[in-house]
Amino acid sequence: MQTEPQQALMTDPDDVQQHLHDVQALLERHQLVEHLARGQQDEGQPAQAPQTSLAQREHLAELHQLVARLHPADIAYILEALPLDDRLRIWDLVAPERDGDILLELSDAVRESLIEHMEHHELAAVAQNLEADELADLADDLPPEVIESAIASREEEEQQQLRAALSYPEGTVGALMDFDMVCVREDVTLEVVLRYLRRFDELPSHTDKIFVVDREDQLKGILSLEVLLINDPEMEVSEAMRSGNIIHFSPEDDADEAAQSFERYDLVSAPVINERAQVIGRLTIDSVVDHIREGSEQDLLNQAGLREEEDIFASVWDSLRNRWAWLAVNMITAVVASRVIGVFEDSIARLVALATLMPIVAGIGGNSGNQTTTLIVRALAVGQIEHSAYLRLLRKEVSVALINGLLWGGFLGVLAWLLYGNPALGVVMTVAMTLNLILAASAGVTIPMVLSKLGLDPALGSSVLITAITDSGGFFIFLGLATVFLL
Amino acid sequence: MQTEPQQALMTDPDDVQQHLHDVQALLERHQLVEHLARGQQDEGQPAQAPQTSLAQREHLAELHQLVARLHPADIAYILEALPLDDRLRIWDLVAPERDGDILLELSDAVRESLIEHMEHHELAAVAQNLEADELADLADDLPPEVIESAIASREEEEQQQLRAALSYPEGTVGALMDFDMVCVREDVTLEVVLRYLRRFDELPSHTDKIFVVDREDQLKGILSLEVLLINDPEMEVSEAMRSGNIIHFSPEDDADEAAQSFERYDLVSAPVINERAQVIGRLTIDSVVDHIREGSEQDLLNQAGLREEEDIFASVWDSLRNRWAWLAVNMITAVVASRVIGVFEDSIARLVALATLMPIVAGIGGNSGNQTTTLIVRALAVGQIEHSAYLRLLRKEVSVALINGLLWGGFLGVLAWLLYGNPALGVVMTVAMTLNLILAASAGVTIPMVLSKLGLDPALGSSVLITAITDSGGFFIFLGLATVFLL
């Protein structure tokens, strides 16, 4: 919907989808012309080079205009939605001075695919134009010599900021913060602050508050734009500012915890201070939102056994590399489970119904264990459970498993009895289901809590571990009970 | 770390953890005293009621003070981390006028647990004090008569807003928006706007821009606080405002898409307009962040087969209800897979190694299919793949599956041959692995794309469906091939 149809540049959530379609349509026509031209040449007809390339040039010019009008984030979106060859075609149409902004908006996988195809001098130009915190964001993907020369070309102060930004490990506040901010002294009036702000061409993005510092750059308070705007200009900053209850971070703080604070206190920006209480940077909601999104995506990828985000149009080889690590782990656990069954081959030979029923015991155990793990991992992630709550949680999850086991296991036991006319087999089925669900619940609580206690990510691999335990355990319990009591 | 140790109200990401520990310690001492008092009575000693209750009163007073000092979001955090009995104890200490703010911050599950224990008149008081958009947020959890009487007590304009807010379905922009905003006319100077703002006691939260409207409330442009602050006060609003490229939403817009726009364009707030281009509300980053977090949690819960978020201290009965829906589906698919095996019982009886090897084929197929589905679901969620890309994606995923199948399947085939001295069994293993991985890849691409084409959530249940297909399919392919070629 457009409020002002006379404007060429209205933006609407659906617009980017429309732009993508336009780009795809133009690319298709472009390729069709190319295809026709080649087809005619193949058939031995004289190549109509001038004419076809005119049509092609028109398409390219049209694409060029379209791309020039788009927001960097929209171009990033379109690049991500295109297969590699089309992606590179569009990337070539982007004005070099916009390359940096667009690379910053791209997902890691797609950014890599473009950087791979860029010349050294193009990358150097990109690095030259980025701000310190932006360069730090891209540092992992750029060649080290490009980074080094970009650092060397900066002024002293920015060089220091850059080296600092590059030194903070991923997952810390330092890696997310930026260095642009507005600071004022406390002994001036709001009028002076207003006049000072009028000297800016633009404020740093997401400026909702100004930091009040002393001569040593130590944080004395914060002055929100709101307070600046609603108060009498004659008021002094020291009177208007808030000096207590300031939410602030250190560069070493965990980025996840900072994100939780942003959510909890609905922040737009917050000061980052060093150990001497000096303001050295600023954390803003846009970096935090990106961090939240990446974190939850990583959780989903981990649960599915993927090493990292994957460009949907990645080459088969890139996809294989991304998926092999977890497939290999899965293969080992599957072979172990298979060897557990191997122990009981004699029993299966004597009562083949066991082979038919055992995957039910293992499968439902795995599903149930994953339910438990997901809840515990989530609660651990938001810091909601203490390690001291272990026994209480274990008791509850085992109770749930016991009831599920007796009820659903009882139902399956009756089913097994009816199918095979063997009531004892039904009882073994019920008992095995119950025991495996209890095993699943215990492992589902214990594994993430132990991983977290060891300082590891509780989500990483816990699903694979749970499934390994409930598979091998389920086969062992069911076949073992059957061997002892039925044969 | 504290910049100003003299301040009682410094806030730091670790503080809330500290507050939680303080509350827990006080509660423990409180319960210990209670326990001792009861113990003495049990042993027939004269109850020292006055003395023990003095100690208890002291603990309660201390808790009361602590709770009174905390931010509503911090109290919500602490309530979520406490078991139900302690939770209710702390909830009783909260001043009634703060109940609403805290309920808004709580997760659905924990909010329900508290509302269940509140009197009708307490809930009515909470509803009375909430703003229109806040009341709409809580509407699902409050009794209908409480909502009705809260609406009836409002002024005409707010009643209309409330009925509108309540009418927008979950997942739309309308359900997330709020109604507080600052609007100005375009024919005044910035100085006039500055004077107008000084008449406010406070601005609506997350005001980073002011909406410029005409007499009919139609959106003419936006004036960011930044532009207001850095420009000459003599400038007219019409000159300073941006009238093109305004990102805006309708109340019917999809909330997920709005969230993507907020991320893409790094927004703090955006106008919501009706079909006549009148500004009716505002979407702010804090609601958007909550929406993003809830959405990604829902994805994780769905993948694990959980119906909804679960209070980690929920009763066993509540937990059972939450988990049964998916366990039931899982049981049906497990029984189907079991019946597929049942068809081949004769083959297993003749070659028991089949029972040992079949779970490997099924298990690795399931894992691999889930990898594919996760990538497709994610790409669909951010609108990155068109339905027209189906064949291209299918071709790629099947290629990956073919290579994985031949390599890993070949490895497992050799293992089977070595274990059972039967080279033909090894070949069947390799072929079955390859075919099941191709089946997994096809289902992994097809299911989410079909669900999405049908307008359903592509994530919902696709994991269960994939596993069902790769289990039953894996057993059928492996046992079927073995029956035809080995027996």
A260 in contact with B, Cβ within 8 Å: yes
Predicted pLDDT at A7:
35
**Whole-Å CA distances, B28 to A278, B19, B250:** 39, 14, 51
| Residues A138 and A247 occupy one common structural domain | no
Contact B459, B448 (CB under 8 A): yes
Distance (Å, whole) CA A138 – CA A456: 26
**CATH assignment at residue B189:** 3.10.580.10
B59: closest CA of chain A, how far (Å): 22
Distance (Å, whole) CA A451 – CA A311: 30
How many beta-carbon pairs under 8 angstroms link A with B?
A: 391
Residue A311 lies in a domain: no
Sequence-separated contacts (24+) of A157-161 with Cβ below 8 Å = A158/A132, A161/A132, A161/A133
| Residues A433 and A288 occupy one common structural domain | no
ipTM: 0.82
| Residues B21 and B154 occupy one common structural domain | yes
User: Nearest residue on chain B to A266, judged by CA atoms?
Assistant: B286
Minimum-distance CB partner of B312 among A261, A327, A375: A375
**CATH assignment at residue A412:** 1.10.357.20
| Residues A152 and A82 occupy one common structural domain | yes
Location of structure tokens 């994991």: B463
B345 in contact with A, Cβ within 8 Å: yes
A270 three-class SS: strand
Last residue of a domain, one of A273, A303, A333: A303
Region B236-257: mean pLDDT is 92
Contact assignment for A371 to B304 by CB distance below 8 Å: yes
B374 in contact with A, Cβ within 8 Å: yes
* A-chain residues near B265 (CB < 8 A): 11, 71, 73
| Residues B478 and B342 occupy one common structural domain | yes
Residue A163 lies in a domain: yes
| Residues A187 and A152 occupy one common structural domain | no
B246: closest CA of chain A, how far (Å): 6
A239: closest CA of chain B, how far (Å): 16
Handedness of CA B468, B471, B477, B483 (dihedral sign): negative
Walking along chain A (487 residues) 10 residues at a time, the average pLDDT comes out as: 35 71 84 68 51 75 89 90 88 91 89 90 88 84 87 85 85 91 95 95 94 94 95 95 90 91 92 93 94 82 76 84 87 94 95 95 92 86 76 92 95 95 96 97 94 82 86 97 93
Q: What angle do CA B330, B332, B333 make, to 5 degrees?
A: 65
Contact B223, B229 (CB under 8 A): no
Minimum-distance CB partner of B245 among A11, A327, A376: A11
Residue A177 lies in a domain: no
| Residues A340 and A482 occupy one common structural domain | yes
Residue B10 lies in a domain: no
* B-chain residues near A401 (CB < 8 A): none
B247 in contact with A, Cβ within 8 Å: yes
Distance (Å, whole) CA A99 – CA A229: 37
**CATH assignment at residue B69:** 1.25.60.10
- Beta pairing, strands A209-213 & A219-224: antiparallel
Predicted pLDDT at A12:
57
Q: At A231, which amino acid appears? A: N
Contact A304, B374 (CB under 8 A): yes
Give the residue from A273, A374, A460, A469 with the most B CB atoms within 10 Å of its CB, the best one to mutate: A374
B368 in contact with A, Cβ within 8 Å: yes
Predicted pLDDT at B8:
33
* B-chain residues near A379 (CB < 8 A): 312
Q: Could you tell me the two tokens for A484? A: 């002892």
Residue A391 lies in a domain: yes
* Least confident window among B92-96, B307-311, B402-406: B307-311
Location of structure tokens 């599915």: A304
Distance (Å, whole) CA B459 – CA A372: 20
Last residue of a domain, one of A170, A199, A223: A170
Contact assignment for B81 to A305 by CB distance below 8 Å: no
Contact B236, B242 (CB under 8 A): no
Predicted pLDDT at A45:
53
Distance (Å, whole) CA B311 – CA B56: 28
Give the residue from B209, B338, B391, B471 with the most A CB atoms within 10 Å of its CB, the best one to mutate: B338
Distance (Å, whole) CA B156 – CA B241: 32
Region B356-375: mean pLDDT is 92
The closest of A370, A391, A380 to A465, measured between CA atoms, is A370
Contact assignment for A230 to B305 by CB distance below 8 Å: no
* A-chain residues near B241 (CB < 8 A): none
The closest of B232, B237, B229 to B208, measured between CA atoms, is B229
pLDDT band at B197 (very low <50, low <70, confident <90, very high): very high
Predicted pLDDT at A368:
92
* A-chain residues near B396 (CB < 8 A): 313, 316, 319
Contact B204, A226 (CB under 8 A): no
The closest of B162, B91, B93 to B128, measured between CA atoms, is B162
Contact assignment for A13 to B253 by CB distance below 8 Å: yes
A278 three-class SS: strand
Q: Could you tell me the two tokens for A400? A: 């749930």
| Residues A391 and A482 occupy one common structural domain | yes
Predicted pLDDT at B417:
96
B399 in contact with A, Cβ within 8 Å: yes
B273 in contact with A, Cβ within 8 Å: yes
User: Nearest residue on chain A to B323, judged by CA atoms?
Assistant: A371
| Residues A347 and A272 occupy one common structural domain | no
| Residues B298 and B322 occupy one common structural domain | no
| Residues B78 and B144 occupy one common structural domain | yes
Q: Which residues 116-135 on chain B approach chain A with CB closer than 8 angstroms?
A: none
For residues A179 and B462, which has the higher predicted lDDT (pLDDT)?
A179
Q: Could you tell me the two tokens for B26? A: 């006080």
All residues at 6 or more sequence positions from A52 whose CB lies less than 8 Å from its CB, including other chains: A33, A34, A36, A37
Contact assignment for B305 to A1 by CB distance below 8 Å: no
* B-chain residues near A386 (CB < 8 A): 24, 81
User: Nearest residue on chain B to A333, judged by CA atoms?
Assistant: B360
Residue B5 lies in a domain: no
Predicted pLDDT at B129:
85
Q: Which residues 66-95 on chain B approach chain A with CB closer than 8 angstroms?
A: 71, 73-74, 77, 80-81, 83
Predicted pLDDT at B7:
35
Residue-wise burial string across B379-415, b where 16 or more C-beta atoms lie within 10 A, e elsewhere: bbbbbbbeeebbeebbebbbbbbbbbbbbbbbbbbeb
Contact assignment for B400 to A11 by CB distance below 8 Å: no
Minimum-distance CB partner of A330 among B232, B363, B415: B363
Domain count within chain B: 3
- Beta pairing, strands B183-184 & A279-284: unpaired
Residue B395 has pLDDT above 70, yes or no: yes
Distance (Å, whole) CA B374 – CA B381: 10
Region B100-115: mean pLDDT is 90
Distance (Å, whole) CA B190 – CA A224: 19
Residue B141 lies in a domain: yes
B195 in contact with A, Cβ within 8 Å: no
All residues at 6 or more sequence positions from B410 whose CB lies less than 8 Å from its CB, including other chains: B430
B422-455 tens-digit pLDDT: 999 999 999 999 999 999 999 999 999 998 888 8
Distance (Å, whole) CA B284 – CA B270: 7
Residue B283 has pLDDT above 60, yes or no: yes
Contact assignment for B316 to A7 by CB distance below 8 Å: no
The closest of B211, B378, B85, B407 to A321, measured between CA atoms, is B407
Average pLDDT for chain B:
87
* A-chain residues near B376 (CB < 8 A): 312
Distance (Å, whole) CA B271 – CA B222: 9
* A-chain residues near B24 (CB < 8 A): 386
All residues at 6 or more sequence positions from A13 whose CB lies less than 8 Å from its CB, including other chains: B247, B249, B253, B254, B257, B258, B260, B261
User: Nearest residue on chain A to B401, judged by CA atoms?
Assistant: A320
For residues A469 and B141, which has the higher predicted lDDT (pLDDT)?
A469
Last residue of a domain, one of A129, A145, A170: A170
- With residue A159 as reference, give the H or E element that holds it: helix A156-167
Distance of CA A27 to the CA centre of its chain: 30
Contact assignment for A359 to B338 by CB distance below 8 Å: yes
Contact assignment for B385 to A81 by CB distance below 8 Å: yes
Q: Which domain holds residue A272?
A: 183-303
Residue-wise burial string across A249-272, b where 16 or more C-beta atoms lie within 10 A, e elsewhere: bbbebebbbbbbbbbbbbbbbbbb
| Residues A131 and A225 occupy one common structural domain | no
Contact A176, A258 (CB under 8 A): yes
For residues B343 and A297, which has the higher predicted lDDT (pLDDT)?
B343
Contact assignment for A375 to B306 by CB distance below 8 Å: yes
Q: Could you tell me the two tokens for B346? A: 């004769």
B301-339 tens-digit pLDDT: 877 777 777 787 788 888 888 888 888 988 999 999 999
Residue A5 lies in a domain: no
User: Nearest residue on chain B to A292, judged by CA atoms?
Assistant: B293
Contact assignment for B300 to A300 by CB distance below 8 Å: yes
Q: What is the 3 state secondary structure string of chain B? A: CCCCCCCCCCECCCHHHHHHHHHHHHHHHHHHHHHHHHHHHHCCCCCCHHHHHHHHHHHHHHHHHHHHHCCHHHHHHHHHCCCHHHHHHHHHHCCHHHHHHHHHHCCHHHHHHHHHCCCHHHHHHHHHHCCHHHHHHHHHHCCHHHHHHHHHCCCHHHHHHHHHHHHCCCCEHHHHCECCCCEECCCCEHHHHHHHHHCCCCCCCCCCEEEEECCCCEEEEEEEHHHHHHCCCCCEHHHHCECCCCECECCCCEHHHHHHHHHHHCCCEEEEECCCCEEEEEEEHHHHHHHHHHHHHHHHHHHCCCCCCCCCCCCHHHHHHHHHHHHHHHHHHHHHHHHHHHHCHHHHHHCCHHHHHHHHHHHHHHHHHHHHHHHHHHHHHCCCCCHHHHHHHHHHHHHHHHHHHHHHHHHHHHHHHHHHCCHHHHHHHHHHHHHHHHHHHHHHHHHHHHHHHCCCCCCCCHHHHHHHHHHHHHHHHHHHHHHHHHC
A269 three-class SS: strand
Contact assignment for B194 to A266 by CB distance below 8 Å: no
Contact assignment for B404 to A323 by CB distance below 8 Å: yes
Contact A190, A235 (CB under 8 A): yes
